[in-house]
Amino acid sequence: MSEVKRIGSQLKRAFEGQAWHGPSLQELLADVTFEQAAAGSFPNIHSIWELVLHIEAWTRTVTQCLEGQIMPEQLPMEENWPQGGSASETAWRGALAKLENGQRQLRDALRNLTDEKLEQIVPGRPYSFYFMLHGTIQHILYHAGQIALLKKALN
């Protein structure tokens, strides 16, 4: 199996499941209501909804980078931590669909990547595509852990 396929497998497991560590991001979010997602019960802590939008923003940025765009050092605050907007079931389901679509697009972009390209430096950054993609998986799982803790605190 190629390294790109291994990375794709890990990305899919982090998002969809059958992960070694426990529940995937999608599994954690499956029973979150829009009220729970929007709850800002803790000062200076992002809501589940904000975390979902943040993960989607960086997933989209990494996908765009794989498609040839320069990886920004940082996203503008309103893009990095977008607000959930009006809290409704429809808006929450839309945010989840956007996250799922972003994950699918990232995995599609991975299919066009070769193992040789993994060692190349990401345009605009001092690290390789390999490092960026593993960082993306770590980023998803880091925020999935936060979501798991927020779910427990909200129940």
- Please choose, from the candidates 5, 118, 99, 13, the residue with its C-alpha nearest in 3D space to the C-alpha of residue 54: 99
CA distance 29 to 135: 21
CATH of the domain at 92: 1.20.120.450
Q: Taking the model in full, what pTM does it have?
A: 0.94
Contact 50, 60 (CB under 8 A): no
Nearest-angstrom CA–CA distance, 13 and 79: 26
- Measured in whole angstroms, the distance separating CA 72 from the mean position of its chain's CA atoms is 16
pLDDT of residue 5: 96
Domains identified in the chain, total number: 1
Residue 47 is predicted with a pLDDT of: 93
Domain residue limits at 65? 3-154
H runs (alpha helix) in the chain: 3-16, 25-29, 34-38, 48-66, 77-80, 89-111, 115-118, 129-154
Q: How far is CA 53 from CA 9, 13, 140, in A?
A: 23, 19, 12
Q: How far is it, in rounded angstroms, from Cα 69 to Cα 144?
A: 27
pLDDT tens, position by position, 108-155: 999 999 999 999 999 989 999 999 999 999 999 999 999 999 999 988
Q: Quick check: 84 pLDDT over 70? A: no
